[in-house]
Amino acid sequence: MSSEGTILDIQGPIVIARLPNARIGEQVKLGSQGLMGEVIAREDDRAIIQVYEITEGLRPGAPASAVGSQLSVELGPGLLGGIFDGLQRPLKTLLEQTGERIERGLMVPAIDRNKRWPFVPGKDLKIGAKVSGSTILGSVLENDSITHRILMPPDVTGELDDLVPAGDYTVDDVIGRVRDTQGNIHKLHLSSRWPVRIPRPFSKRDHALQPLITGQRIMDTFFPLLKGGKGAIPGPFGAGKTVLQQQIARWSDAQIVIYVGCGERGNELTEVLDTFPQLSDPRTGRPLMERTMLVANTSNMPVVAREVSVYVGMTIAEYFRDQGFDVVVVADSTSRWAEALREVSGRLGQMPVEEGYPAYLGSTLSAFYERAGRVETLNGNHGSVTLIGAVSPPGGDFSEPVTSHTKDIIQTFWALSKDLADARHYPAVDWLESFSLFVDVAAKWWHENINEDWMRLRNIALRLLSESEELARIVNLVGVEALSGQQRWTLETSKLIREGLLQQSALEPNDSFCSPRKQFLLLKLMIEIHTRGAEMLKVGMPVQELLRQPLLAKARRWKISYSSEEIEGLEQEGKAIEPIFDALRAEYASPLAKGESAARTGAGPT
């Protein structure tokens, strides 16, 4: 059903049209160019429409027509490796068809209509079989990394009337038919559509069990996020949000990555498009682009499409989740999306609550983050969507509305600090401000797969870091001479942990990705150095001597000296720690002077 009307008022991205019968959420075409928009409110016979495109050139009196459907995305093979705008228009196709600047009023389908995909029907599916939402009808080898499962639309149940044999089909070809309980026939295709603002259904929520391994030490070792979890990266400009999200997109052990560039720089998306095809997944060896999809609404693109872009990304993520994949969505930046909400609400004259944001900011954010999660899908598989949002607080002030609402919603908070970024301590994740609610769950994985000592050592490291914070305060008041030898040693080893473990350069090939084994080994060796050094102080070695040990400078470089594949070299270095300290001990603590036993009882971290 569609209704026709005329435009009455144009003000920036908001248009008012006389459009009786239009429903809220319904899509609308405006003017001779057919600019697309969406009804966000109704008053009398008028519809208030937010327009996804620049409204320049529209005039009162021009036609408006409601098209009957809500904004939806096309889901099927052919999305991976691509870049789409906030309305899921394929940007590479647009580039070929209309040139380097994005024209208005273009509707180009997301998926190539002519490309044929090798479809293999499900082995156990017989004609007459009962099929329902998300039943797997078959599969398509989308690329060498991903076998795309073709699903029943989530909202159809019935009997399979017909299914094509294995062969090559386009997304428009009918691959089968389903007769529902009312006797209606539904045609099946390799692709289907789903409205972006409605979460795709699943059968139930599941516990998240596994950490998402990102290869970033400060994340995996200190503030883990689970597959299916919700995380946020707040930070002032230039603190490293985008780099961290790109690192997650590169190195995390997700099967599918959806990168949503929401109101950020065009060059950052270009960079992903340029570099990802050359990088390979450290686990599968396949080009990263095969598992990656980009949604791009850059900061100079229309603001309403920005608001939509995060939903487009999320809906596509849910679709892959329903196929049984672990999907990661990175959204850079959720603040720009919230600002788009603010802009529209402001133009509607809605009452602002804080800093111009509407009262529904918090509920909109949490409803969106709720779409993340690990679920049992309608077809009985398990899949997950992990959501990681960057937050860009004005002035770097974390008490502003978007950051504070987000903080209440998420489970892992990686707070970036301007001071750390200014000192080029990257990733500039502040270890005192950040938190993860899932260390216990992650610990299970680490203990089973890497080492049982993970939790204990991680906690020691965190304690050293926070102790040293206290000590640094004292030093800043009265100087380092006021500290005891043990305290100076704590200061030194926490510096070692900061530089040798927490700092991780995204640009150094050996350091950009750090395997869990390497992470654990570095952690273990640093705590070992700390412990052994503390013992030496107990047996009388002057702290100045200890600080002069060349081992310390060497240990700072271990992360760079050995890649994740060169773990053995690192293990060798680790084996050398003991003899070094044994030799020192022999020097300082002759059994006559101090006594072996006294030193032994003093073992253990301070």
Ligand X SMILES: Nc1ncnc2c1ncn2[C@@H]1O[C@H](COP(=O)(O)OP(=O)(O)OP(=O)(O)O)[C@@H](O)[C@H]1O
Restricted to residues 180-209, the positions that interact with another protein (CB under 8 A) are none
Of residues 320, 39, 413, the one with CA closest to residue 197: 39
The 509-548 site mask, x for binding another protein (CB under 8 A), equals ----------------------------------------
- Euclidean distance between CA atoms 368 and 300, whole angstroms: 24
Whether a cis peptide bond, with omega within 30° of 0, leads into 121 is: no
Which span (165-173, 271-279, 322-330, 523-531) binds another protein, by CB under 8 A?
Answer: 271-279
Of residues 102, 20, 135, the one with CA closest to residue 66: 20
Among 285, 550, 579, 604, binds another protein (CB under 8 A): 550
Which residue has the CB atom at the shortest distance from ligand X?
240
Which amino acid appears at position 117 of this protein?
A: W
Helix axes 516-538, 439-449, angle to 10 degrees: 90
Among 278, 476, 597, 601, binds another protein (CB under 8 A): 476
105 belongs to the binding site for another protein (CB under 8 A): no
486 belongs to the binding site for another protein (CB under 8 A): no
Among 478, 576, 598, 603, binds another protein (CB under 8 A): 478
Of residues 530, 525, 528, 456, the one with CA closest to residue 493: 530
- Euclidean distance between CA atoms 449 and 253, whole angstroms: 15
Residue 93 or 335 with smaller CB distance to ligand X: 335
Tell me how far, at minimum, the Cβ of 333 lies from Mg ion, in Å.
7
The 15-54 site mask, x for binding another protein (CB under 8 A), equals -x-------------------------------------x
124: which residues sit within 8 A by CB, 6+ positions away? none
Helix axes 454-478, 516-538, angle to 10 degrees: 50
271 belongs to the binding site for another protein (CB under 8 A): yes
- Residue numbers 339-398 binding another protein by CB under 8 A: 339, 342-343, 346, 352, 355-356, 392, 394-397
Residue 237 or 360 with smaller CB distance to ligand X: 237
Which span (22-30, 55-63, 136-144, 583-591) binds another protein, by CB under 8 A?
Answer: 55-63
Residues that bind ligand X (CB under 6 A): 235, 237-243, 264, 392, 426-427, 505-507
- Residue 570, Cα to own-chain centre: how many angstroms? 30
Q: How many other CB atoms are found less than 10 A from the CB of residue 499?
A: 16
Of residues 86, 46, 331, 315, the one with CA closest to residue 197: 315
Angle at 581 between CA 575 and CA 587, to 5 degrees: 145
61 belongs to the binding site for another protein (CB under 8 A): yes
Which amino acid appears at position 333 of this protein?
A: S
Per partner kind, with CB cut-offs from 5 to 8 A, the member of Mg ion, ligand X, another protein, none near residue 427 is ligand X
Which span (133-141, 295-303, 308-316, 437-445) binds another protein, by CB under 8 A?
Answer: 295-303
